[in-house]
Homo-oligomer: A and B are copies of this chain.
């Protein structure tokens, strides 16, 4: 019936995604790679032509790399912000002087890319769009959503009905879907239809002017991120690719006596204002690429979903000032968080309940973001003196660590993305978690469930390549098992027992064996046994001493391309024999097992012991949210 496809395939989709900004594109890109059928629409005729969000924070660059998209973004030669400079009026006289600088991602954060990447949002969008195309997804433009219903009782498989329409009204479609996602930005139709309210964190709101352009100036920090206070007003400078610079100017605040949210200013007015603020330095525009005035309030959605079928994310859920460059980054993480959970449910691994962790995990981060946005604004006004900033950025611990430094450190960690964390739930172990045994969460470990796995350099055994361990499993929707295997002579039996117990019927690992396990390609590197797990093993031994077929039982040796030697020196642990073990706070002889969620956050840490205790604990952990009862009988595979 090739010429007459069933109505089902024409109109039934796994998900309808509305909006092709950062949040929609990230969600779409993940799900497309994992094989889902996607209807993705956007009401704009083409990707963002100019302006909008432009900051990619350090940790987001890790994420993009994990998706294989970083090099396409870096090919556009974005600006990189390593430091922020503060300019204020001098103690006496006119003009402005630099009062200090600080690192945007200081040394105390163990970042791979300790800088913010600045690139026009349209170029970033196009990188995702090109990737989507490879997976057969095209954004349908300019189309918009006209209505939707969600009724699980009427259709438990495809409960969502969505009406779509070309923006000029010339065409319509009605789609049945498992999910609907609203990533339409601040003015979300989906959110409005659900009657979800936006709470305003701070009664103060602002009108900002933002101008992208190419300038000619003798202001020495024009290629740095700068906050400039002067007698004539304040301005924020953000460098961009292609010699561009973005200027943010606050045009009005709701605290102004004559405040009006529709207050505006012309290009010429903003330029004249910038000239006054920057004096005695001169500034002239060679070209203005984009100019916009918009009111910003600190808002947060009451809910991110009502029924766990229709979800919101990105600016539809949270709005805030552009000062900390967080918008796109928060959007990416909203989408990534939801993507792997939908996949875990739809692929038959996790119970539908894990979808309930999306809102609390991401809303909590948004709340933190809004608080920081507030604090950040105050920090910027505080005019910190240079010596305080210096001690804050040096990464040295000192007794006299004051409130300012503490706030600063937390702020840097949060805005870099490395400080984002998720609270205890079924996915993020805590003392209240059902997984309870003496092997769970060894006291020495520096890993924290709900926080990011720590970066570490190791040597891959098969090809002696020095690699970033945290990047060795791509964003493939699988949980990542990092087996820190300590000294081979010490852990030989524990590794055998681990493999035996992983192979047992009803273990977390065996229970989700691929149906096609017997015909999987010899070259399958990440998912030879199960689509839900990828395994890496790290020995605390020099590479040349590791023999994979001798040191690992066959189940683990199957992942031969993911076996590593922890033999690279690390400046943060200069005396450690096995720096990666040391960074994780795991015993260099006895090791330990770390479960990392598909999005890179630690799920649980378990000691590596002889006998069944290690796998028993993992069964308890995964059993708390997966679809099958795990553990139990001891019949072997």
Contacts and interface: CB of A to CB of B under 8 A. Distances in A.
A463 B71 contact: no
Given A71-B75, A243-B523, A463 B80 contact: yes
B82 A115 contact: no
A82 B466 contact: yes
The number of chain A residues touching the other chain, given as a range, is: 35 or more
Nearest to A218: B549
Interface string A437-473: 0000000000000000000000100111110000000
A602 interface: no
A462 B223 contact: yes
A464 B101 contact: yes
Contacts of A243: 523
A459 B549 CA distance: 46
Interface in A62-96: 71-72, 74-75, 79-83
A55 interface: no
A515 interface: no
A632 B72 CA distance: 52
A380 to B, nearest CB: 18
A578 B522 CA distance: 51
Contacts of A286: 522
Given A71-B71, A74-B71, A463 B239 contact: yes
A5 interface: no
Given A115-B465, A465-B82, A220 B75 contact: no
Contacts of A41: none
Contacts of A72: 75
Nearest to A100: B544
B218 A82 contact: no
A220 B464 contact: no
B80 A216 contact: no
A101 B463 CA distance: 11
Contacts of A80: 463, 465
Contacts of A459: 82
Contacts of A83: 464, 543
A163 interface: no
Contact of A464 (B74, B224, B466, B548): B224
A463 B224 contact: yes
A633 to B, nearest CB: 33
A547 interface: yes
A544 B464 CA distance: 39
A101 B547 CA distance: 13
Interface in A89-124: 101, 115
A547 B462 CA distance: 49
Interface string A520-559: 0011000000000000000000011001110000000000
Contacts of A549: 218, 220
Interface string A198-228: 0000000000000000101010111110000
Given A71-B71, A72-B75, A239-B463, 9 more contacts: A71-B74, A81-B464, A82-B459, A82-B464, A83-B464, A101-B544, A115-B465, A221-B462, A243-B523
